[in-house]
Amino acid sequence: MFISNAYAQAAPAAAGPESGLLGMLPLVLMFVVLYFVMIRPQMKRQKEAKAMIAALAKGDEVVTAGGVIGKISKLGDNFIHLEVANGVEIQIQRGAITQVLPKGSLK
């Protein structure tokens, strides 16, 4: 009385193979845009940072991730000794270097 009868509906006509490709087109376009907007620039920044860290030399003036500015006094494989004041050295990891300053920035 309150419940109406449910009847099976006819199946929709099968579409050709091109409709499957058109259905995937937005997904492919979104991935292409994501690659050029997010992934590619991030890989470029990582490559530049790796090259900067590999090119560090004694006497370079650098900024660390924590904002400490100093001059490199000794280089190791994984660690760097950074002179932050006359006679004051700290030891930091190579990856903590975020920027190399132009020569003469520190006085």
User: Is 96 part of a structural domain of the chain?
Assistant: yes
What is the percent of the chain where pLDDT is above 70?
91
Q: What is the 3-state secondary structure (H, E, C) of 26-51?
A: HHHHHHHHHHHHHHHHHHHHHHHHHH
pLDDT tens digits, 4-35: 877 777 766 665 666 777 888 999 999 999 99
Same domain, 62 and 86: yes
Whole-angstrom Cα distance, residue 46 to residue 30?
A: 23
| Domain of residue 92, residue span | 57-107
Same domain, 45 and 23: yes
Say which range, 21-25, 78-82, 92-96, 99-103, has the weakest mean pLDDT.
21-25
User: Is 12 part of a structural domain of the chain?
Assistant: no
User: Is 11 part of a structural domain of the chain?
Assistant: no
Instruction: Note the pLDDT of residue 68.
Output: 96
Name the one residue in this structure whose structure tokens are 């370079």: 60
Q: What is the pTM of this model?
A: 0.67
Residues 6 or more apart from 62 whose CB is under 8 A from it? 56, 69, 70, 71, 72, 82, 97, 98, 99, 100, 101
Same domain, 50 and 61: no
Return the SS3 of 95.
Answer: helix
Q: How confident is the model at residue 88 (pLDDT cuts 50, 70, 90)?
A: very high
Same domain, 43 and 63: no
User: Is 4 part of a structural domain of the chain?
Assistant: no
User: Is 88 part of a structural domain of the chain?
Assistant: yes
Q: Look over the chain and give the mean of its residue pLDDT values, rounded to a whole number.
A: 89
User: Is 6 part of a structural domain of the chain?
Assistant: no
